[in-house]
Amino acid sequence: MNIPTAGTHIIVSPEIITRSEHKISRANISPAAIKVLYGLLKAGYQAYLVGGGVRDLLLGREPKDFDVVTDAHPEQIKQVFRSCHLIGRRFRLAHVRFGREVIEVATFRSMSFQQQGVAEQAEIGMILRDNEYGGIEEDAARRDFTINALYYNIADFSVVDYANGMADLQAGVLRLLGDPETRYREDPVRMLRAVRFAAKLGFKIHADTEKPISNLGGLLRDIPAARMYEEVLKLFLGGVAVVTFEKLRHYDLFAELFPLTDENLSYEEHEFPLTLVRNGLENTDRRLAAGKPVTPAFLFAVLLWEPVRHRAEKLQAEGVAVYSAIQQAASEVMQTQVSYVAIPKRFSIPMREIWTLQSRFANPKGKRPGRLLSHPRFRAAYDFLLLRAESGEADPAEAEWWTRFQERQGLDPKGGNNPPSSERRPRRRRKPRKKREAGI
C-alpha cells in the first residue's frame, strides 16, 4: 500500500532497520511499557512502540511517554490486562496501569475516514469522530510527521519505517505525511505540533510543511478552548519556551493563542513589553532545566500582563484607582482570553492576585509591608515585580527595597521562605473557664 505523499515524499514498502542498525535498547524503555508489549505479544497480537518514544530513543533522548499500538481491539486489550481502562469517544484507547504508570495502547487506525460517510468530519475537513480500525500500514499513513511514523517491533527488536522517517530524523527535518493543507485541516493543532517539535528537537520544518501554516492559523479557533490550554502548556513548558515563542510569532500563530497580547506587542513603542515576555520565558526554561517546578499561573501572568497593564493605564487615566483599575483590566482581558485558551480557575485566580499585588508594592508604608509579606501569593508577586524591573517596566529601586526588606525580616528573597511568626496574625487565646465552686 502506498503511503500518502508529502510533496514528492513517497514510500511504497517499509524499511526494516534491524537491531544492530539502531540504538534502541529495552533497558531504556519503561518496564511498564515492556510488560504491555510482551503481554500483547504473548496473547497472540502484534505489539509496537510508536511515536515520540521511538523518535526520542533514536535521538538518544529520554522519552516522556511510551505509546503502544496493536492489532488487538480495545475490548481484547482489556481481556489481556486486568488493570485496563477504556477511554475516548473520537477514538477508543486503552489505558493500562502498572503502579503509578499508565501506558496508552491504541488499535491500528484505518484510512477509511477518507471514504465519504465513514467518519464524522466538520466542513473545514477536521475529523470529529473516528473509530475505524485497520492494519499497521494504514496506521502509519495516519501519523502526522514522518519521524513519528517509526515503529519498534518487540517481536524482533527492529524498527519499521514506513515514511522515510529515519532519513528525516538524521537530517533534522520535520515533514508532514500527506498533503500538508489537508492534514492541517483534519486537525489544526498539527500546526502547533510542528512548531513545538521544531523548537524542541532543533529541527527545520520542511518547506512544503511550513508553507500553509501562516494562512491556516485561523482554523485553531475551531479547536475547543480547553484543548488549547493543554496545547499551550506543551508549547511553553517543554524547556524551549523562548524559541517556541519566536516561532509562534514567525508563523502568525501566537495571535491565535493570545490575540490581545499579540496586538499590544505589535504596536507598543517601547521594548520592555517584549523583553518582559522573553525574560519570563527564559526564567521558565531555566527553572525547568534545574528541575524546579513552574506554575501555569505565573506563565500565563507573564503572557497576559501587557494587555492587562495597557488597559489598566487607560482606566487610571479615566480616574479609576490603581488597584481597581488592575482588577477591572484583569477581568476584561480574561473574559476575552478564555474564548481562545481556557485557563482553569485554580490558575486564573492566582494570576489575578499576582497582577493586583503589583500596585501594593509601590506604597511600602507603616505595617503594609509586613501584611503584604504574609500574603500567600507574595512570593510569586515579588518574582513578577523583579521580572518587571529587569525588563525596564518597573522601578528597579522598588524591587531592591522589597529585596532588602525581606532580608531585614530574616528571609531569603531567593528561597521563598514563610514569613516569620511575628508577621503572622496571632492566634486569639481563649480565656480560662472559671472553676465552679462545689455545691453551687
Catalytic site residues? 65, 67, 144
Sign, CA torsion 293/296/297/299: positive
What are the C-alpha distances in Å from 137 to residues 66, 71, 94, 259? 20, 11, 21, 40
Name 109's bridge partners: 133
HSE at residue 188, side-chain half, CA atoms within 13 A, is 21
Q: Measured between alpha carbons, how far is 439 from 297 in angstroms, rounded to an integer? A: 63
Q: Measured between alpha carbons, how far is 235 from 308 in angstroms, rounded to an integer? A: 22
Cell numbers placing 155: 517481536
Q: Measured between alpha carbons, how far is 379 from 154 in angstroms, rounded to an integer? A: 49
Strand order in the sheet with 158-161: 15-17, 158-161, 150-153, 47-50, 67-70, 101-107, 93-98, 84-87
Secondary structure (3-state) at 36: helix
Instruction: Please report which helix (H) or strand (E) contains residue 40, including its range.
Output: helix 31-42
Q: Measured between alpha carbons, how far is 320 from 37 in angstroms, rounded to an integer? A: 63
Q: Measured between alpha carbons, how far is 125 from 212 in angstroms, rounded to an integer? A: 15
Instruction: Please report which helix (H) or strand (E) contains residue 150, including its range.
Output: strand 150-153
Cell numbers placing 410: 530574616
Q: Measured between alpha carbons, how far is 120 from 127 in angstroms, rounded to an integer? A: 6
Secondary structure (3-state) at 137: helix
- Strands 101-107, 15-17: pairing kind: unpaired
Is residue 144 a contact partner of residue 183, using CB atoms and an 8 Å limit?
Answer: yes
Q: Count CB-CB contacts under 10 A for residue 89.
A: 8
DSSP strands (E only) in 12-114: 15-17, 47-50, 67-70, 84-87, 93-98, 101-107
Q: Measured between alpha carbons, how far is 355 from 357 in angstroms, rounded to an integer? A: 6
